[in-house]
Amino acid sequence: MSWGTELWDQFDNLEKHTQWGIEFTEKYAKFVKERSEIEVNYAKQIRNLSKKYQPKKNSREEEESKYTFCQAFQQTLSELNDYAGQHELISENLTQLIINELSRFLQELKSERKSHFHDGRKAQQHIETSWKQLESCKKRFERDCKEADRAQQYFEKMDADINVTKADVEKARQQAQMRHQMAADSKSEYSSYLQKFNQEQNDHYYTNIPNIFQKLQDMEEKRIEKLGECMKTFADVDRQVLPIVDKCLDGMTKAAESVEPKTDSKQVVESYKSGFEPPGDVEFEDYGLDMKRTVSENSLSNPKEVKEKSTGKSKGKLWPFIKNKNKGSGPEDFSHLPPEQRRKKLQGKIDDLNKDIQKEMDKRDALTKMKDVYVKNPQMGDPASVDPRLAEIAESIEKMQKSALHQANLPAVLYCKNEGTIAIAEGELLYVIEQDKGDGWTRIRRNEEEEGYVPTTYIEVFLETNAKGAMTYI
């Protein structure tokens, strides 16, 4: 169905309709732009959320990352960050494939529409001008006919009057003839212009206007087609990221399935196990009897040391259950921690130090290779320029290798700071004066004046044949 034949007389309505079509397209472009902005803001908020809950370096949250549920949450945050990236991609594609494309298309559409309606107005003005000229010819022909009739009547009146001279009659006759000739000329002109107008009018309504309206129809259909393509692209942009979004969601699901309660329970043991044995029963101390307790068959100490043993042990063996009031991070040697945890912490620091040493060695090897290349190919560089950096790295490696932490053998020293305990070193031989009674502590003596309790798990007890008691090997 053609606008040119069906809507030949609806120029103004077509002008309004096509203008509304452009405004609708602009409204759709604005809608897509706002959707794009929403996607950008959503992606930004998702990224900020993911960043907010990422474990901070050198914090308790980073320490907690060794648990499977914490690792799963971190993986979820990572996948969420990738998920946000897909929404950024949606925004970019909406802008590039729809907003920018529609902006360019609308400029061309407005220019084309303006040109078509300019041609339409020009054709309309031409036919209106022709119509006015036709009306002018018609009125002139009508006026000349009336003048010719009046001149004819006047001539006939003069010719019938016997009192009128022949000269006046001749003059009236000539005037009538002239008017008739003018009427005949006007008639001929009117007839000729009428034919011309009808031809122009026929061309106007059957050729010119239909052609212009057909172009407008094609333009409008092209606009509608473009709008449909954009709406399809609008859906395709989302559909294109679905595989990646599915991968992100699969990653979150996989992370959730990796949570292992038993493993986390085991990790709690690894994190907080002190290495001490639970305390044994508290002995009854009868202060009402003024007598000295006999030395137990397992004790090799003299009687005067028994009181010290009871007092020291009662205070020392329950120390793992005393709440630590130190809220800070503790000293760098982790001496504030139980032996087992201190050993793990120190081992971790040693491992980190070894990694740093290896990194420096890798740098040294790379620079050495570079220097060899410079020696063989002087045009590539000066070998001497590498020496300062090599010296700096060598000094750094030597410093780290000579550090006390790197040369330590764990556990090198066991520090016990509670009352009744004594510090011991690896390989040290001591005398056992009271064996472990099930509380995890053994009483030992270093010399005649120094004795105390140590954790049983850190010592090895054997009998010395040439001595009165057992020897302790740390």
Cα–Cα distance between 222 and 216 in angstroms, integer? 10
Please tell me the predicted confidence (pLDDT) of residue 62.
Answer: 63
CA-nearest of 67, 9, 455 to 261 is 67
Report the DSSP pairing between strands 451-455 and 470-473.
unpaired
For the CA atoms of 176, 177, 180, 181, what is the dihedral angle to 10 degrees? -150
Residues 6 or more apart whose Cβ sits within 8 Å of residue 361: 397
DSSP character at residue 417: -
Across the range 450-455, mean pLDDT stands at: 80
pTM of the full structure: 0.60
Mean pLDDT, to the nearest integer, of 92-99?
96
pLDDT bin (cut points 50, 70, 90) of residue 408 is low
State yes or no: pLDDT of 422 exceeds 70.
yes
CA 325 – CA 327 distance, rounded (Å) = 6
Bigger pLDDT: 344 vs 180:
180
**Percentage of the chain surpassing pLDDT 90?**
42
Average pLDDT over residues 100-114: 95
3-class DSSP state of 206: helix
pLDDT tens digits, one per residue of 278-310: 777 877 777 765 544 444 444 444 433 433 444
CA distances in angstroms from 452 to 219, 384, 424, 455, listed in the order given: 101, 61, 10, 11
Mean pLDDT of 220-245: 95
Residue 147 has pLDDT above 60, yes or no: yes
Contacts of 80 (CB under 8 A, 6+ apart): 46, 49, 50, 248, 252
Cβ atoms 433, 452 nearer than 8 A: no
- If one compares 35 and 319, the residue with the highest pLDDT of the two is 35
Among 218-227, 399-408, 425-434, where is mean pLDDT lowest? 399-408
Distance in angstroms between the alpha carbons of the first and the last residue of the chain:
104
Sign of CA dihedral 132, 133, 135, 140: positive
Asked if residue 34 has pLDDT above 90, the reply is yes
Residue 301: what pLDDT? 42
Identify the residue with better confidence: 404 or 221.
Answer: 221
User: Does residue 87 register a pLDDT over 90?
Assistant: yes
In this predicted structure, the answer to whether residue 466 has a pLDDT above a threshold of 50 is: yes
Candidate from 47-51, 77-81, 348-352 with smallest mean pLDDT: 348-352
| 237-261: pLDDT as tens digits | 999 999 999 999 999 999 999 999 9
Average pLDDT over residues 207-222: 93
Average pLDDT over residues 96-114: 95
